[in-house]
């Protein structure tokens, strides 16, 4: 079973969302299960800082040696940062999906942004 940190929220699309930082922004990435299924990540296209995104909308892509997959916004909000490390080192998504391999951060439009997301136990159940 993949490592599933208890302090994150998850989507059925295998993305995670961290608790808000001091500025109210949340980091978003893909789960260990997702990076494992993708294989070696070779390119990541992320949304632009300042871009407004809607929950469930495709906001970028992850390309691996196996396929190209959409990145979805797990919540609505405004993008506040992108992980620029991934430009030169996209495989960081594989080696540290819950750490240095985060994708982007956004300031949620709704204070109740975790409504409808899965906790670690529910996400583990989704994986079977």
Query: What values do phi and psi take at 35, rounded to 5?
Result: -65, -35
Whether 93 has a pLDDT exceeding 80, the answer reads yes
Give me the residue label for tokens 């001091």. Answer: 22
**CATH annotation of 9-127:** 2.40.50.100
DSSP conformation letters of 65-112 = SS-EEEEE-SS-EEEEEE-THHHH-TTHHHH-TTTTT--EEEEESSTT
Whether 1 has a pLDDT exceeding 70, the answer reads no
pLDDT value for 113? 80
Q: Is 37 helix (H, G, I), strand (E, B) or coil?
A: helix
Domain ranges of the chain: 9-127
Whether 59 has a pLDDT exceeding 70, the answer reads yes
pLDDT value for 29? 98
pLDDT value for 15? 96
Q: How many residues does the chain have?
A: 128
The model's pTM is 0.94
Quick one: average pLDDT of 81-86? Answer: 97
Q: How many CB atoms lie within 10 A of CB 107?
A: 17
Per-residue pLDDT of 65-78, as tens digits, reads 999 999 999 999 99
Q: Which two tokens stand for residue 83?
A: 């992980």
Whether 2 has a pLDDT exceeding 60, the answer reads no
pLDDT value for 114? 80
Whether 14 has a pLDDT exceeding 80, the answer reads yes
**pLDDT category of residue 51 using cuts at 50, 70 and 90:** very high
pLDDT value for 84? 97
pLDDT value for 124? 95
Distance CA 10, CA 28 (A): 10
Distance CA 36, CA 23 (A): 31
């Amino acid at each position: 079973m993949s490592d599933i940190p208890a302090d994150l929220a998850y989507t059925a699309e295998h993305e995670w969302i961290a608790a808000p930082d001091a500025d109210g922004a949340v980091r978003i990435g893909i789960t260990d299960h997702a990076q494992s299924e993708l294989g070696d990540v070779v390119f990541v296209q992320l949304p632009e800082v300042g871009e407004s995104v809607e929950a469930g909308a495709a906001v970028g892509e992850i390309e691996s040696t196996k396929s190209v997959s959409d990145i979805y916004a797990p919540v609505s909000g405004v993008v506040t940062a992108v992980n620029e490390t991934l430009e030169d080192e996209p495989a960081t998504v594989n080696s540290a999906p819950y750490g240095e391999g985060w994708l982007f951060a956004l300031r949620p439009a709704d204070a109740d942004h975790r409504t409808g997301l899965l906790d670690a136990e529910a996400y583990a159940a989704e994986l079977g």
